[in-house]
Amino acid sequence: MRITRVLGAALLALGLAAAPAAADSSPSASPSGDSGAPTRAGTSFRTATEIEQGQRATADASTGDYLYWSFAADAGRRPTVHATVKLPEQHATQTWQIDVYDGLRRRQACQYGAQTRTAAQGAASVELACVLRTVRAWSEPWADDPLPGTYYVRLTVVGLQASDLGLPVNAEVEVGSKDIGGAAAVDGSLAQPLVPGVAVKSRQDGSGSANGEGGSKKAAVLSSIEPDGGWSSGWWSDRWVWTGIGAVLAALAGIGGYALTRGSGRPSRVPPGV
């Protein structure tokens, strides 16, 4: 009975410990509505329009333009980019493509999704999607793994007839992500997320008046977006919880095995006449 009570209490404690981990691994809720969503797109990496995850950004453009947006992705998340291009009533066959780049402007491969699609003549719209690999908190310098920081979305037409050049189109882009949890955790983290300009510091001259505030250094950050709650830097994941649960279960198994094999503790009966 005592062993049963101990095991029951331990299992209850493990259930309470695992509950926060399960809550943390669920996908974050998207903001309700599209109020305040951007209605324009940039034309280069430097002028990319910043969007929050869950927002549906729109932009009016001309066929042949390069459209750029940027968003923030943190470690342990798997971003997904959806794009819809509404085409004019009269047009020839067009092929559209969506590309995603990280903070170092390295093109990131899509795990799956229709990254390139061809709209038939007279089609009203074309939809594209790109599901990236899970963002890692740290990676080898030679690897091309997605890392925390700013990501760029580029939407453009890659197959176009001269007669369609300059026709008006409307583009919609939405970015979401899924929390992968401890399955994507690694032993390491970046010193700083890959945000353009985060490592650019203004120099201090000898008089200490370069910045106008006693020569104190300032970071020239070119991107102001970051995930809700800030950058996690990959130091915590539910892997810690499940590792602790495994250690406790192993200890309970050892205790239970010892209690079952040690016997009652009473001396064996001595046969009469010995």
Q: What is the CATH number of the domain that holds 57?
A: 2.60.120.380
Across 128-134, average pLDDT: 95
Task: Report the range out of 72-81, 181-190, 239-248 with the highest average pLDDT.
Answer: 72-81
State yes or no: pLDDT of 215 exceeds 60: no
Q: Does residue 79 form part of some domain?
A: yes
Q: Amino acid identity of 27?
A: P
Q: What is the pLDDT of residue 239?
A: 63
Q: Is 246 left (phi over 0), alpha (psi -120 to 50) or beta?
A: alpha
Across 197-207, average pLDDT: 47
Q: What is the pLDDT of residue 109?
A: 92
Q: Does residue 136 form part of some domain?
A: yes
Domain encompassing residue 129: 38-180
Number of domains in the chain: 1
The pLDDT tens digits of the residues spanning 35-61 come to 688 999 999 999 999 999 999 999 999
Q: Does residue 58 form part of some domain?
A: yes
What are the tokens at 197? 């300009």
Q: Does residue 247 form part of some domain?
A: no
Distance CA 15, CA 13 (A): 5
Q: Does residue 87 form part of some domain?
A: yes
Nearest to 164 by CA among 88, 230, 101: 88
Q: Does residue 18 form part of some domain?
A: no
pTM, entire model:
0.69
Kindly report the three-state secondary structure assignment for every residue of 234-270: CCCCCHHHHHHHHHHHHHHHHHHHHHHHCCCCCCCCC
The pLDDT tens digits of the residues spanning 92-126 come to 999 999 999 998 899 999 999 999 999 999 999 99
Q: In this structure, are strands 110-112 and 94-101 parallel, antiparallel, or unpaired?
A: unpaired
Across 145-169, average pLDDT: 93
pLDDT band at 176 (very low <50, low <70, confident <90, very high): very high
The sign one gets for the Cα dihedral 47, 53, 55, 59 is positive
Work out the percent of the chain whose per-residue pLDDT is above 90: 40
pLDDT band at 206 (very low <50, low <70, confident <90, very high): very low
C-alpha of 112 from chain center: 16
Q: Does residue 117 form part of some domain?
A: yes
Q: Amino acid identity of 217?
A: K
Q: Does residue 215 form part of some domain?
A: no
Across 144-153, average pLDDT: 92
Nearest to 85 by CA among 55, 64, 111: 64
Contacts of residue 86, defined as CB under 8 A and 6 or more positions apart, other chains included, come to 124, 125, 169, 170, 171, 172
Contact 50, 135 (CB under 8 A): no
